[in-house]
A and B are shown apart, each in its own frame.
Chain A
Amino acid sequence: MTARQDVTARYVAEFQAFAGNGAAGAPAWLKEIRAGAMARFAALGFPTTRQEEWRFTSVAPLAEAPFVRPEGGIPDAAAAAAVVARGLGAGPRVVFVDGRHAPGLSSVAGLPAGVVAQSLAATLSGDAAVPSEVARRHLTRHARWQENPFAALNTAFLADGAFVSVPTGVRLRQPLELLFLASGPAGGRDPAVSHPRSLVVVEPGAEAAVIETYAGVADAAYWTNAVTEVVVGDGAHVELFRVQREAAEAYHVATTHTHQGRDSYLGLHVVTLGGRLARHDITTVLGGTGAELVLNGLYLLGDAQHADHHTVIDHAEPHGTSHEFFNGVLDARAHGVFTGRIIVRPGAQRTDSKQTNNNLLLSTEARADSQPQLEIHADDVKCTHGSTVGPVDPNQLYYLRSRGLSLEAARSLLTYGFAAEILGRMEHPDVRGPLDRLVRERLG
């Protein structure tokens, strides 16, 4: 057996134990999906760089060594303050430690009436009929675990995470933060892995602002393998801010899958700052006529960080609009990968799609790979894309210097501007302010 087969077999064995006892309380439909997902993972195995979708990103550190699910050590009171400080907002929050709900650290006071923000485990155990029905309808129905081994692994070990439901007509304006923390080393010999799973359902005509934050409490080589499904109902308006600031040694693999209804709006904002190795698959389906999507991302990498954003914008219905902007700032030996696939399905006429990916290289050893992929099966559409990779523009530097800024000040202003362009589209002051501070801190 190769190391890879060995590790895969270990997860299969671990799943058997998990399905035997750990899955207690889960409904039958979910147990069945989990088993199917495990079989799918075993069949797919860990991806290799020979696969087109993974050719710039090696997951060898994950595939060749076992990670274990920790017992879920909730930090004590003294650590609690530090934990919460890793969050972004000052508003309501639901906190998870190593993928498990931490009620003592959570606070959902002040949520508008009708909004449910709770643990997925509680939702699935069926204490309340309505949430569990919403969960049954949507959970695992969107994210394509059949195609992606990491999403399959997450689905197999699906136990807890966030469940958010915003009913028709309700406006959740103050951002609700879902804070996923890794406590660090597993305690034993092997590093820790958690599989947080989230479902956000915004019913027709509702409005919601949600922050998803992933962070580490202590630096360690832990692994977060997250999946989030977001359902945006007809005419709903959703702003989702996703902030990844894992520990420097951490691994972060995630799938975000969104589905939009007719005339809905989704602003999906992605900020990637942390982790040694990060891979984020984002699939957005514009599944109703006239849906509008803004996919707005920033990755700020240094040292030997590697971050790979794989986005798919799927225009399934006519009159859809999607504007995608990803900016990368890469320093030291960092490597940024961006793949932006835009699919316009047959019949999705009058689609208006725009994609840009700009990469700023701050060192000669930094690297960026940018790949647009357009698949257009309709004839009356407007699709544009563009990408750039390069150092700071000497013309911009000179222009700023000619106004009295030092070379260093000019360079730092231009770098900040690269990030600020993305932050500028995050119109929520509760989010933009703290993110702006994080970015400035990061850029020094």
Chain B
Amino acid sequence: MSEHPLLEVTNLHAAVEGREILRGVDLTVRLGEVHAIMGPNGSGKSTLAQVLAGHPAYQVTAGSVRYAGKDLLALTPEDRAREGVFLAFQYPVAIRGITNAYFLRAAVNARRKYRGQEELGPVEFMDVLAEKLQTIGWDDSYLTRPVNEGFSGGEKKRNEILQLAVLEPTLAILDETDSGLDIDALKTVAQTVERLRRPDNATVVVTHYYRILTHLQPDVVHVLAGGRIVKSGGPELALELEAKGYDWLREGTAAA
């Protein structure tokens, strides 16, 4: 474990359309760790994920985010991606006319170029892809289909995980990737994340449900409520939430 955390969120406040959603989030993630952020609907989980990825509709009104020693908030969304941040979208976007293979190669090459590496040609890239496809149990028919166009909800989520596997980010943020998945798809997603886990990367899993955490071993579990992290603990906290729900925490916030 390195001395400096990979991600250090301090007193983060963020708003969308003038409405404040995050009200002072503090979060520290170190290399090699998997964090789970749980919380009721509307607590700000997705906002946190989007703010970290750089969604232009969200305004950061206070606080800071340091990532690998840099001011993350000063970077464009594309530079965050090139620096190794990856957000698996809760609602992946369809792109008409562009095949998955073309899109994936464009993404990989954008990062390679940024890092001064040679860009991959279509043939070389196919070799890389073939292996990744196996990881998520897909055949190559998904590569020639337009990005997420006509994909089922589950297929879209899997496609996010395929991108995760191909891009090999340093910091992966999964925004409710588990919701709407059947148990097999959920296992595939969790196993892929587990397989990609290394001492030099980290994962933040944003989820409403305990389910996915039975297949993933989080090091730290946080509860986000009312735009702040109100409780953090080990994996046992997830179990407790599963048993007791979120209401007791909300009351706790009100009392505090």
Contacts and interface: CB of A to CB of B under 8 A. Distances in A.
Interface of A: 393-396, 398-407, 409-410, 413-414, 416-424
B124 to A, nearest CB: 18
B106 A402 contact: no
A404 B98 contact: no
17 contacts: A395-B93, A399-B93, A399-B95, A401-B54, A401-B81, A402-B78, A403-B163, A404-B81, A404-B167, A405-B78, A405-B110, A406-B78, A407-B76, A407-B78, A413-B95, A416-B97, A417-B95
A413 B81 contact: no
A401 B167 CA distance: 14
Given A402-B53, A406-B110, A413-B95, 10 more contacts: A399-B92, A402-B77, A402-B89, A404-B82, A404-B107, A406-B78, A413-B98, A417-B96, A417-B98, A420-B97
B149 to A, nearest CB: 9
- Give the interface centre of B89, B92, B97, B167 by most chain A CB atoms within 10 Å: B97
Interface in B147-204: 163, 167
A416 B53 contact: no
Nearest to A395: B93
A324 B140 CA distance: 28
A404 B114 contact: yes
Nearest to A420: B97
B48 interface: no
A413 B110 CA distance: 13
Q: How large is the interface on B (under 10, 10 to 19, 20 to 34, 35 or more residues)?
A: 20 to 34
Contacts of A413: 95, 98, 103, 106
Interface string B57-96: 0000000000000000000111011100011010011011
Contacts of A417: 95-98, 146
Contacts of A421: 96-97, 146
A403 B167 contact: yes
Contacts, number: 80
Given A413-B106, A421-B146, A401 B76 contact: yes
B121 interface: no
B111 interface: yes
Given A394-B56, A405-B78, A418 B97 contact: yes
Majority SS of interface residues in chain A?
helix
Contacts of A419: 97
Contacts of B167: 403-404
A111 to B, nearest CB: 33
A137 to B, nearest CB: 41
B217 to A, nearest CB: 27
A306 B96 CA distance: 25
B231 interface: no
A282 to B, nearest CB: 22
Nearest to A418: B97
A401 B78 contact: yes
B4 interface: no
Contacts of A403: 81, 103, 106-107, 110, 163, 167
Contacts of B106: 403, 405, 409, 413
A97 B86 CA distance: 57
A420 B87 contact: no
Contacts of A409: 106, 110
Contacts of B55: 398
Contacts of A406: 78, 110
Nearest to A422: B97
Interface string B207-230: 000000000000000000000000
Given A405-B110, A409-B110, A398 B77 contact: yes
B73 to A, nearest CB: 15
A420 B98 contact: yes
- Give the interface centre of A404, A416, A418, A420 by most chain B CB atoms within 10 Å: A404
B17 to A, nearest CB: 14
Nearest to B148: A399
A421 B146 CA distance: 9
- Give the interface centre of A393, A402, A409, A420 by most chain B CB atoms within 10 Å: A402
A416 B111 CA distance: 21
Contacts of A393: 93
Given A396-B93, A409-B106, A421-B146, A402 B98 contact: no
- Give the interface centre of B54, B82, B110, B167 by most chain A CB atoms within 10 Å: B110
Contacts of B80: 402
A404 B78 contact: yes
Contacts of A402: 53-54, 77-78, 80-81, 86-87, 89
A414 B102 CA distance: 12
A401 B106 CA distance: 11
A438 to B, nearest CB: 16
B22 to A, nearest CB: 18
A410 B93 CA distance: 13
Contacts of A416: 97-98
B86 to A, nearest CB: 8
